[in-house]
Structure 1
Amino acid sequence: MAVKNESHVLVVGIDGVRYDSLMSAATPALDQIARNGFLLPVHVHRKNATISGPVWATVATGVYADRHNVTGNRVHPLELAAYQDFTAVLRAARPESRTMIAASWFPVAAATACGPLFSSRGWVPEEDPEEANDGGSWVSADDAVADYAAGRLEREDLAASFVYFGEADVEAHNNGTGIGYISAIQRCDSRLKRLLEAIESRPRRDAEFWTVIVVTDHGHVDAGGHGGETEAERTAWIAACGERVPRDVVAVDHADIFSQVLATFGVAAGDTDGLVFGARRDPQEQPATTAAPR
């Protein structure tokens, strides 16, 4: 018997992972994705500030801040309602599709502050880690997200999913980009490994085509913090692999994730700022207007 959804996409967002710090960390799960596809630096588009809210909104909707109008992390703009996230667009086109969103930073999936950035909303931990906003609270929250998401990925026929981890970003804010930051990045990679293992343990895995995309939203200055125009802040990255991911990708953008996810299912992306992977030939290099970081 064939599976209900032959194609599946998992997008994993790991907040605030500086590119050169990633290159210094031991990340076997991400390395596996890069070997089977690509891992490329991404210059945060000039229309987006180097802040979580604007960039994750672009990942969700495929448009930049001049359209979705998420310019910070505190206000949910009316304009965002015009743009559905990629899981919502997929369900509208293919009502039989099941999707998942799980996040430790509540605005990704819940109606708080600038959220929900994903219009479908989703699962968040019982306790908001921003209340304590220390290493322990974010480790617990990210671990809870990994538990929840891995369980559903293993058991359910999910077409498209978005899973978010926030520990590394908060570690940089609190303590800079030193050894503790590298350790936080490595713990996030271990959570990514759990998600990949859940996919591999699916009973009909051999009959399924899986695309996995991993992305960060911005970098950090050495002392921790972002929102400015330094290369360390403005350089993000995207990694991806899968049967439907081209191997000759030379440039990608946060907005492209929306288009790529929908193209996997043969669904038109509509009027977006993104392109499918492989179609973009030049990275964006213009500076954006700065705003206060979280």
Structure 2
Amino acid sequence: MKKIIFLLLVFSSMHVISQQNVKGIITDKHGTPILIETNISIKGTDKKTLTDYKAEYSITANKSDVLVFAHPGYQSQEIKVGDKNVINVVLERETIQRNGPHKVVFIIVDGISTDMYYKANTPYLDAISKDGAFTEAYVGGKRGTYSETPTISAVGYNSLLTGTWVNKHNVYWNSILNPNYNYPTVFRLLKDSFPNKKTAIYSTWLDNRTKLVGEGLEATGNIKVDYHFDGLELNEELYPHDDQKKYLKRIDAEVARTAATHIYEEGPDLSWVYLEHTDDMGHLYGDSKQLYEAISYEDALIGLIWDATKLREEKTGENWLVIITTDHGRRPIDGKHHGYQSYRERSTWIALSKPIENTYFKNNKVSIVDIFPTITDYMGIPIPQHVAYELDGVSLTNTVDAFNLEATCYNGKYLNAKWLTESKNNEQAKIFISYSNNKKEGGIDNYKQIGEIDVQKRAFNAQINPPKKCKYAKLVLETKNHTINTWIKIKP
């Protein structure tokens, strides 16, 4: 009996000795850690573990064991342990055709100029851009013209939400004193056409929902956001305010975590995530280590939300488009403030989680107002004519027939219009003019067709007959796929 016990102890100790600790990190093909828990199991057993928040794992295994690495949306891998103590794994995305509804989450991360984006460590934004698309962009309207727009936070948000510059949406400052709700937000347009579709806002600033979207206001048709997580900055008991704005960093983390969880579990059709920490570090420190660390911090939060959309796609078959952008750049001299029209303050960027094929996106600097029609195009939201005629952007996912419409009027009656094209198609375009701006007050403008021309001509001349007291006219070029517009100064 003693001999049997002795032999069992020997075999048991040999088994323990043959075991070894194996650790590693799980990344995608771009080298980006896969944040949400990856399952690592020993094949043929019940033993398993999960990666931590750094996408790292540790497991005890025998040399003869085979580790199985599995993550939703990625191809599983099996690797024999052998003599290896470190096994880092690169998982490849599964290629799946999804036929579910198209859904969008757009993320505004505050105050990161293009040069700062390039300098910062942003592995998740880099991975999103490689899987999808990235482009430099601008805010601020057309410098020196009627549409010149302050490079200020709320102003930029509303340019995205309405697809218009400040001369239309009328938000000139963060105080948001008198928004012109006659230019509807993309949330209102969605609800007008599809009242049963769900919306969500996850934000470090309450005014985004209550003032910009205008929830519950008569002027916005009493629009209701179906789910919101915001207003935490007003709770000073849970988030005591400090001079270094650390409380807003904490709130950003809560906002991102809540957004990721709610998107994965409920899948609202249209969502907005707003993160503020980077702008605070910019105002406090300007071009600094603190600001670049903040950019990397926000990048990790963006990665969390992106992972949630991928898991949601895997679970439901839905098609998710993630759009990430910023609202303004920063002052050239030190990176601290913003609001004016310098190149750096106007210089922004846009990242999308889906590849973009149109040549306008690839060959031109796009703008924040292009996001509105991109969302409506991707989600199939119809745009009424009176809204379309006012939009200052074009879709980044659809064919762009013409862009950058400009027009001048000589001697109060001779019109000269010109535009640019990317498509080589010889499509007929219609040209309309209105001598009123009733839209500003919620009315209807009377547009009259004054011509039709091959869009490839890129120019149009006509004699017009404006009313005697008319100072400005509105010109619209309507093509097969979209419209573009400009204002014309009739009298000096």
TM range (shorter): 0.7 to 0.9
Distance in 2 (alpha carbons) for counterparts of 1:87 and 1:41? 25
Secondary structure in 2 matching 1:49: coil
List per-residue Cα deviations over 1:148-171 (Å, max 9, x = no partner).
Answer: 211110101311111010100110
CA contact (8 A) 1:62 1:258 kept: yes
The runs of 5 or more residues in structure 1 that have no matched partner are 111-115, 285-294
Return the offset for 1:205.
Answer: 4.1
Structure whose residues are more often strand by fraction: 2
- The partner residue of 2:151 within 17, 25, 50 is 50
Distance in 2 (alpha carbons) for counterparts of 1:130 and 1:239? 33
**Correspondence for 2:434:** none
Aligned letter for 1:87? Answer: F
Tell whether 2:307 aligns with 1:197.
yes
Tell whether 2:210 aligns with 1:96.
no
**Correspondence for 1:123:** 229
The 5 A counterparts of 1:1-294 are 6-44=101-139, 45-46=141-142, 47-79=148-180, 81-110=181-210, 116-120=211-215, 122-128=228-234, 132=242, 134-202=244-312, 204-205=314-315, 207-221=317-331, 222-242=334-354, 245-246=356-357, 248=359, 249-250=361-362, 251=364, 252-269=366-383, 270-271=387-388, 272-277=391-396, 279=400
Distance in 2 (alpha carbons) for counterparts of 1:95 and 1:282? 32
Secondary structure in 2 matching 1:95: coil
Distance in 2 (alpha carbons) for counterparts of 1:67 and 1:157? 32
CA contact (8 A) 2:162 2:184 kept: yes
Aligned letter for 1:37? Answer: G
Return the offset for 1:147.
Answer: 1.7
The runs of 5 or more residues in structure 2 that have no matched partner are 1-97, 143-147, 216-224, 406-492
Q: How many residues align?
A: 275
Following superposition, which runs of at least 4 residues in structure 1 exceed 6 angstroms of deviation? 280-284
Larger Rg: 2
Q: Could you say what the CA RMSD is over the residues aligned between the two structures, in angstroms? A: 2.5
Identity of aligned residues (%): 25
Distance in 2 (alpha carbons) for counterparts of 1:214 and 1:280? 25
CA distance change for structure 1 residues 39 and 186 in 2, over 3 Å: closer, same or farther? same
Distance in 1 (alpha carbons) for counterparts of 2:304 and 2:150? 31
CA contact (8 A) 2:154 2:171 kept: yes
CA distance change for structure 1 residues 204 and 16 in 2, over 3 Å: closer, same or farther? same
Aligned letter for 2:273? Answer: V
List per-residue Cα deviations over 1:6-43 (Å, max 9, x = no partner).
Answer: 21111000010121111111111111121123222212
Distance in 2 (alpha carbons) for counterparts of 1:11 and 1:126? 20
Distance in 1 (alpha carbons) for counterparts of 2:280 and 2:375? 28
TM-score by length of 2: 0.52
CA distance change for structure 1 residues 282 and 118 in 2, over 3 Å: closer, same or farther? same
Moved more, 252-261 or 165-174: 252-261
CA distance change for structure 1 residues 71 and 5 in 2, over 3 Å: closer, same or farther? farther
CA contact (8 A) 1:14 1:216 kept: yes
Aligned letter for 1:242? Answer: K
Secondary structure in 2 matching 1:229: coil
Structure whose residues are more often helix by fraction: 1
